[in-house]
Amino acid sequence: MTDRIITVTLNPAIDVTYRVDALRVGQTVRVPQVRSRAGGKGVNVAAVVNALGGNGFALALTTTAEPDEFRAGLEELGIAHRLVPALASVRRTVAVVAEDGTTTMLQENGFPACEGAETAITGALRDELEAGAGGVVISGSVPHGLHPAVPARLARVCAEFGVPVITDVSGPALRAAADSGAVLMPNSDELAELVGGGRTVHDLVAGGTPAVVATAGADGAIAATAHGTWQARPPEVVTGNPTGAGDAAAAALALHLAAGRDVDWPAALADVVATSASAVLRPVAGEIDLGARTRWIPLTTVKETR
């Protein structure tokens, strides 16, 4: 299988990170360090795939205006990409990170996608799948102008090509994706919303979902599949910037899925947890601490729970 991982970002961003000594509401806070880069969850996934030795490829919507700061940012990061102009502008997100690790996120909703955006992104995805891919990750929010079911529809396109796909989405988009044949990757709060009313992760798997991998921050992650259910916990408590941890987890899992049909789920889950934790050590989403990841993978505790 190819190690080319296509990531789909429907609501991209310019991610700005402010490093401050402390966030004091109602006061002037000086910002001694600022970093800005092309972002959005799929872009972060592609960057981590590259850091892990894979071939990350970002497929995303972008602005119809020029100059395109988002496109320039991807080029600066060295991420191969294909962009579909469909937004009036690309939104900004701001992470305010204090010295004690406390992180405050300010996220713009973004601009509506123009008419024809779904057709254009679907056609672009088909083209890239025909060019070859080991896996696809569809992640992040869905902008106004697109139906919440668009990630699920894109996941079904991947299924037509026999390419494993992960959806890391929330709300109505997650509920729609539950019937798309994609591996679901919610956080613990999103999972609780999805399985409310007596439905369980095992019901999802029995209904055709290949796997549910739920991240739980400092508590690690669980994976429920037709072959069993496992829980993994990190070897130590990690403090820092958690904003890219879920994206790093998705990148690690995508590479395991791309390696072949017979996934070693305990090994994959240990990698997911260790890679996610290593991202917390980095000040900017889309980066990981490779040394910490290498140390933590064999120390991550994985137990079968079913």
Query: 271: Cβ–Cβ under 8 A, 6 or more apart, which residues?
Result: 252, 253, 256, 297
Q: Which long-range contacts (CB under 8 A, 24 or more apart) does 260-268 make?
A: 260/1, 263/225, 265/211, 265/223, 265/225, 265/227, 265/228, 265/230, 266/230, 266/232, 266/302, 266/304, 268/223
pLDDT at position 68, please? 96
Per-residue confidence at 303, pLDDT binned at 50, 70, 90? very high
Per-residue confidence at 217, pLDDT binned at 50, 70, 90? confident
Asked whether the predicted pLDDT for residue 106 surpasses 60, the reply is: yes
Determine the Cα angle at 184 with ends 272 and 285, to 5°: 50
pLDDT per residue over 172-193, tens digit each? 999 999 999 999 999 999 999 9
Lowest mean pLDDT among 16-20, 68-72, 122-126: 16-20
**How far apart are the C-alpha atoms of 67 and 200, rounded to whole Å?**
47
**How far apart are the C-alpha atoms of 137 and 298, rounded to whole Å?**
25
> Stretch 257-267: mean pLDDT, rounded?
92
**How far apart are the C-alpha atoms of 76 and 259, rounded to whole Å?**
29
Asked whether the predicted pLDDT for residue 267 surpasses 90, the reply is: yes
**CB-based contact 15:39 (threshold 8 Å):** yes
Closest by alpha carbon to 63, among 74, 77, 52? 74
pLDDT per residue over 107-165, tens digit each? 898 899 999 999 999 999 999 999 999 999 999 999 999 999 999 999 999 999 999 99
pLDDT per residue over 285-297, tens digit each? 899 999 999 999 9
Question: What phi-psi label fits residue 87: left (phi over 0), alpha (psi between -120 and 50 degrees) or beta?
Answer: beta
pLDDT at position 284, please? 83
Domains along the sequence of the chain with CATH = 4-11+41-89+113-304 (3.40.1190.20)
**Mean pLDDT score across all residues of the chain:** 94
